[in-house]
Amino acid sequence: MAYDIDMIKKVYGHMADRVTKARDVVGKPLTLAEKILYSHLWDGEATTAYERAKDYVEFSPDRIACQDATAQMALLQFMQAGKKKVAVPTTVHCDHLIQAKMGAAIDLQSANKSSSEVFDFLESVSNKYGIGFWKPGAGIIHQVVLENYAFPGGMMIGTDSHTVNAGGLGMVAIGVGGADAVDVMAGMPWELKFPKLIGVKLTGKLSGWTAPKDVILKVAGILTVKGGTGAIIEYFGEGARSMSCTGKGTICNMGAEVGATTSTFGYDESMERYLKATNRADVAEAANAVKEHLTGDDEVYANPEQYFDEVIEINLSELKPHLNGPFTPDLATPISEMGVKAKENDWPINVDWGLIGSCTNSSYEDLTRAASIAQQAVDKKIKAKSDFGINPGSEQIRFTAERDGLLQIFEDLDATVFTNACGPCIGQWDRSDRKGEEKNTIVHSFNRNFSKRADGNPNTHAFVGSPEMVAAIAISGRLDFDPTRDKLINEDGEEVMLDEPKGIELPTKGFAVEDAGYVAPKEDGSSVEVKVAEDSERLQLLTPFEPWDGENLTGAKLLIKAWGKCTTDHISMAGPWLRYRGHLDNISNNCLIGAINAYNKKTNFVKSQITGEYDGVPAVQREYKKEGIPTVVVGDHNYGEGSSREHAAMEPRHLGVKVVLVKSFARIHETNLKKQGMLGLTFKNEEDYDLIQEDDTFNFIDLEEFAPDKDLTIEIVHADGSKDTIKAEHTYNQPQIEWYKHGSALNLIKKENVA
C-alpha cells in the first residue's frame, strides 16, 4: 500500500468537481497543468480565471519533500513557527552530506561519523513534528519520492530545485526555498504567480542511441537557461506516451535548467506500470477512476497553439544524441558535431571520468541501458580509457541492480560504485585524480555543469549526456567519440563498434530491498527533545531578522557588481560548504565568493568603501555590518539561477545586505529574497546596469511609498559627486510587502500565531 493513500484518495475525490468548475470559469478546455493548479486552490473550487504571469494565487499543496542540506534551515525556521506538527505529509531525505571518494560502504560510514550531529538533529526534529525520515544511504530524494510518494494529479513542493522530477509521474512538483515549505508545514497557503504554459509536442519514437535525456538537452538548447522562467512545461503527444515513467522523470528533472517552474506529463500506461511495479497498485486504481482529469483535454492537444503561450515540437524519430556543455546546461551539441565544436573551442578531448547517476538518471532503466554498453566493452575486450563512477538512485534501485548483476558489470570495468546519494553531482566528490591548472574533461548524466560544480575546479569542463552515451564516451576516452559511426580498437588490436544500447523499463523479477532506509515518526512527538549545542559549528538556532524601520534607505554602499552568470552556486557554494548549511553565520563566510566582480573580473575580491582596500566579499560585508552601513548587490540576467537553496538569500540578509538589484531574476531566488525580508529589484532599463560604478552610494528616495505595481526611484551618487537617478521595478504584492515590513515572512507567521 502507498504512503498517505487516504490523502491521495481525497485529492481524487474532489478532482472531477474542481476541474469541471474551473473549465466553466475559464471558459475553455484545460491543459493538465491548469487542471492540477485549479484543483489545488487554497479556497477550493475556482471562482476566478487567473491571468498567467500576472496574478498571485494561493495554493494548497498535498505534500512536502526536503533534502538534508536545505532541510536544516527549513526545520530551524519551522521550530520558530509555534506548531506541534506539520500540517501536510512531509519527508526529509539525507542524500547531500555524503562525499563520494572510496566507494559506498566506506563513504557512508565516513558521512555517518562526520555529519552525525546533523543527521541526529534532522531525525529528532522529524520525530518531534511528524515528519518521515529517510536515513543516509536510503537514496537521492527525487528518486525516492518518485518510487514512494509521487502520484498523478498531485501538487508537491520541495526544498530542492529538482523537486520537479516528480512531473514524470504526472505531478505539479515545484522547487521552493525553506521559508515557502514552512508556510505549508504550518498549515498556511502557498503563494505562486500563476505560471505561463509552454507545450512540447513529442511525435515519433525514440530509438537507438537517443534517450529521454536527449529530449531535455534539445529543449534546453532551444529555450536556454532562462527561457522557461515563470512557466510550466507540459509534454504531450504520441512520443510522450511511448516513453517510460522514469524517462519522463529525467526530462522533468532537467526542466529546472531552463528556469521552468516545473514540467509534467499526462497520466498514461507507463505511469500505471510504474505505480504497480513500486507496490502502489492502490494509487493506480484510484488514478484510473479519474484518469480523464489527469491529462490535458483533447482539444488542447489537438490545437496546442490556442492554449499554450509557446509550443515546441520535437520529432523523437529524428532526434539525435546530444552532449550539453561545458559550464552551462543549455549549450547543446549533437554528438556528431562535438569533434568539430570541441576543436574550435579548444575543449580538452581526452575524457578523465564518466559519471552515471544523480537524481536525473539513476533509475533501473538508466542503469540497464548504461550496463548494456559496459557489458559490450567487457565482451569485446575493450579497456575503458576513463574512470567510472556510479551513483544508484535509491537503496531499492541498488539492491535490485546488484541482485540482477548490473553493478557487477560496471565493477568489471573497474568502476567505483558510490553511495546512493548525490555525490559528484553537487560537488560532494573527493576526486582521486585531482587536477590543478590543467584543463580537463568529464562527462556525466547529471543535470548541472556550472564551473566548479562537480569537483571545485574551474578548469574542469563538464558535459551532460544520457547514461548510455556517458558510458560509451568514457569507454572510448574521447569527447569526440560518436558511437553511431566510430570504431574502437580492442585489446586484440581489432576494430569493433558498440551496438545500440538496450534497456529494461522495469525489473522482470520486480523491485526488491531489505532495508529501504525509512524511519516513521512518533504519532505524538511532544516528548521528543531537540538539542542544538551552543558551541556547534554545524547548527545554530535562528535569530529573527530586524523589521523595516519604515523609512527611506539612504547611504547604501555597493558591495559587488556581479558580472555575467551568477547562480546560487556562485552566491552560496555547495561542496565543502554543505557542512555549514545549518549554521547561518558560519556558512555566510561563503557569501558571493564565486561571483565575478565586474570591475576586475576576479572572484571574492571587492573594494571596501570604508578602507579603500580590496578583500573577500564576506570580510568586506562584515565590516559594513559592523559600522551599520547598508549595502547593495548588483547583478546581471537570471540572477540566482540554479538550486533552490535559500542560503543564497539568507546569507546576504544575515550579513546586512539590504537590496539586490539585477537585470532579471530566476524565479525561486527572487521568492527567497522576498521571504527573507530583502528588496529584490530589477532595472527598469537594463542599460542602467552600466551606470553603476565601484564607489557608488545608493539612496532609495521613495521607499516610504513602497506599494504593488509602483516603481522605486534610486539616486546613485558617484565618487566624484555626480548623480544618476534611475527607476527599479519589482513584483511585490501587498502580502509580500508585509513580509518586508516585518523583516521576513517567518516573522509575520510568528506574529499571527501569537495573535
Whole-angstrom distance, CA of residue 295 vs CA of residue 187: 28
Residue 570 has pLDDT above 70, yes or no: yes
User: Mind listing the pLDDT tens digit for each residue in 102-154?
Assistant: 999 999 999 999 999 999 999 999 999 999 999 999 999 999 999 999 999 99
Model pLDDT, residue 752: 76
Query: What are the grid coordinates assigned to 180, written together?
Result: 515557502
Model pLDDT, residue 722: 98
User: Mind listing the pLDDT tens digit for each residue in 658-685?
Assistant: 999 999 999 889 999 999 999 999 999 9
Catalytic, out of 68, 95, 352, 455? 95
User: Which residues contact residue 6 at a Cβ distance below 8 angstroms, ignoring those fewer than 6 apart?
Assistant: none
Query: What are the grid coordinates assigned to 743, written together?
Result: 523583516
The pTM of the full predicted model, rounded to 2 decimals, is 0.90
Residue 620 has pLDDT above 80, yes or no: yes
User: Mind listing the pLDDT tens digit for each residue in 86-95?
Assistant: 999 999 999 9
The neighbouring-strand residues paired with 462 are 442
Residue 558 has pLDDT above 70, yes or no: yes
Catalytic, out of 588, 643, 644, 744? 643
Residue 755 has pLDDT above 70, yes or no: no
Catalytic, out of 4, 62, 107, 160? 160
CB atoms within 10 A of CB 417: 22
Average pLDDT, rounded, for the chain: 96
Instruction: Report the candidate in 141, 180, 665 with the shortest Cα–Cα distance to residue 425.
Output: 141
User: Mind listing the pLDDT tens digit for each residue in 19-41?
Assistant: 999 999 999 999 999 999 999 99
Peptide bond before residue 326 is cis, with ω within 30 degrees of 0:
yes
Q: In the annotation, is 583 catalytic?
A: no
Residue 625 has pLDDT above 60, yes or no: yes
The average pLDDT across 461-473 equals 98
CB-neighbour burial class of residue 490 (10 A; exposed 0-12, middle 13-18, buried 19+) = middle
Model pLDDT, residue 255: 97
User: Strand locations in 575-730, DSSP E?
Assistant: 606-607, 614-615, 631-635, 657-662, 679-683, 697-700, 712-717, 723-729
Instruction: Report the candidate in 161, 166, 102, 99 with the shortest Cα–Cα distance to residue 136.
Output: 99
Whole-angstrom distance, CA of residue 191 vs CA of residue 660: 21
- Torsions phi, psi of 668, nearest 5? -65, -40
Contact in structure between 626 and 607 (CB atoms under 8 Å): no
Whole-angstrom distance, CA of residue 402 vs CA of residue 409: 10
CB atoms within 10 A of CB 439: 14
The average pLDDT across 72-86 equals 92
Whole-angstrom distance, CA of residue 102 vs CA of residue 201: 43
Per DSSP, 555 falls in state E
CB atoms within 10 A of CB 265: 30
Model pLDDT, residue 729: 98
User: Mind listing the pLDDT tens digit for each residue in 706-729?
Assistant: 999 999 999 999 999 999 999 999
The average pLDDT across 342-349 equals 97
Per DSSP, 31 falls in state -
User: Mind listing the pLDDT tens digit for each residue in 362-376?
Assistant: 999 999 999 999 999
Catalytic, out of 63, 93, 96, 369? 96
The average pLDDT across 459-475 equals 98
Catalytic, out of 448, 570, 637, 654? 448
The average pLDDT across 699-703 equals 98
Instruction: Look at the block and give the residue holding cell 550531529.
Output: 117
User: Mind listing the pLDDT tens digit for each residue in 212-221?
Assistant: 999 999 999 9
- For the chain, the helix, strand and coil percentages under 3-state DSSP, each to the nearest 5: 35, 20, 45
Residue 435 has pLDDT above 90, yes or no: no
3-state secondary structure of 239: helix
Residue 531 has pLDDT above 90, yes or no: no
Instruction: Report the candidate in 370, 450, 451 with the shortest Cα–Cα distance to residue 415.
Output: 370
CB atoms within 10 A of CB 726: 20
Model pLDDT, residue 329: 96
Instruction: Look at the block and give the residue holding cell 546512493.
Output: 420
Whole-angstrom distance, CA of residue 639 vs CA of residue 365: 35
Q: In the annotation, is 499 catalytic?
A: no
Contact in structure between 36 and 62 (CB atoms under 8 Å): no
Model pLDDT, residue 82: 82
Instruction: Report the candidate in 238, 285, 231, 281 with the shortest Cα–Cα distance to residue 256.
Output: 231
User: Mind listing the pLDDT tens digit for each residue in 191-238?
Assistant: 999 999 999 999 999 999 999 999 999 999 999 999 999 999 999 999
Residue 750 has pLDDT above 90, yes or no: no
Model pLDDT, residue 678: 97
The neighbouring-strand residues paired with 603 are 596
Model pLDDT, residue 754: 57
What percent of the chain has pLDDT above 70? 100
Helical spans, DSSP H, in 553-666 = 568-571, 584-587, 617-626, 647-655
Whole-angstrom distance, CA of residue 163 vs CA of residue 440: 31
Catalytic, out of 583, 622, 637, 645? 645
Residue 178 has pLDDT above 90, yes or no: no
Q: In the annotation, is 643 catalytic?
A: yes
Model pLDDT, residue 630: 98
Model pLDDT, residue 118: 96
Q: In the annotation, is 538 catalytic?
A: no
Q: In the annotation, is 645 catalytic?
A: yes
Q: In the annotation, is 160 catalytic?
A: yes
The one-letter code for the residue type at 603 is T
3-state secondary structure of 72: helix
